[in-house]
Amino acid sequence: MTTPPASPIVAPTSEHGPLPLAPIDRPRGLFVRVLYFATRRRYGKTPTAFRVVYARAPWVGFVSACIAMVLERCLSLETEIRFLLQLSIAMRNGCTFCVDLTRAEAARQRLGCARFAALLDFEGSPVFSSREKAALAYAEALQRSLHVDDEVFARAREHFRERELVEIVWVCAVEQYFNAMALPLRIGSDGLSEGGG
């Protein structure tokens, strides 16, 4: 009797290619198990980044949860501008995981997601206010180079208080950080925002 050949192990893939680290579906630590439970309740499934990164480094999950809490509860910036900034950075970086997660969050909060399609051409679009365009110009400049020129900063200063300017810088930096974790590990969209606007 011959033994059938073992089926080859296929690495999980995303639109960015094969994942170098396989997702972990059954984490060991209590904190990560609670995080998995919470995300399943929120999104219907545990996002891939959580299963790849946080399952292996729970402290990174803790830091990310703290950052998310600050984003949601501590900013004086309007929620919609925060989402526009995050999406602008993620779209320009090509981070489909972060685009998907942010769109899912925006849909949960019943924000007008249809205008997100115009984000990469915001200057020529009538769907954004001059305040939003000033913030998006800052995000675009920051994503291109960490050295934002005086003209872009002066434009933002016309529309935002000093605390809001610092928050714009921080939101953009946080999004760059999340993109820089997801993209090298080839973590892509989980389809969380499908049908969500």
Contact partners, residue 153, CB within 8 Å, separation at least 6: 138, 165
Mean pLDDT (whole number) for 1-12: 60
Percent of the chain with pLDDT over 90: 84
What CATH homologous superfamily does 76-187 map to?
A: AhpD-like (1.20.1290.10)
pTM, two decimal places: 0.90
Window from 3-7, 35-39, 150-154, 181-185 with minimum mean pLDDT: 3-7
For residue 197, pLDDT beyond 50? no
Per the prediction, the chain carries an average pLDDT of 92
Distance (Å, whole) CA 16 – CA 167: 30
pLDDT tens by residue, 64-109:
999 999 999 999 999 999 999 999 999 999 999 999 999 999 988 8
Q: What is the pLDDT of residue 109?
A: 85
Residue 144: strand, helix, or coil: helix
Cα–Cα nearest to 96, from 12, 179, 11, 39: 179
Average pLDDT for residues 50-64, to the nearest whole number?
96
Pick the range with the lowest mean pLDDT from 103-107, 128-132, 133-137: 103-107
The mean per-residue pLDDT over the stretch 43-52 comes to: 95
Say if residue 193's pLDDT is above 60. Answer: yes
The residues that bridge with 17 in the sheet, in sequence order, are: 14
- Residue 165: which pLDDT band, with cuts at 50, 70 and 90? very high
Contact status, residue 109 vs residue 115, Cβ threshold 8 Å: no
What residues does each domain of the chain span? 26-74, 76-187
Note the pLDDT tens digit of each residue in 8-40: 556 689 999 999 999 999 999 999 999 999 999
Q: Are 29 and 58 in contact (CB under 8 A)?
A: yes
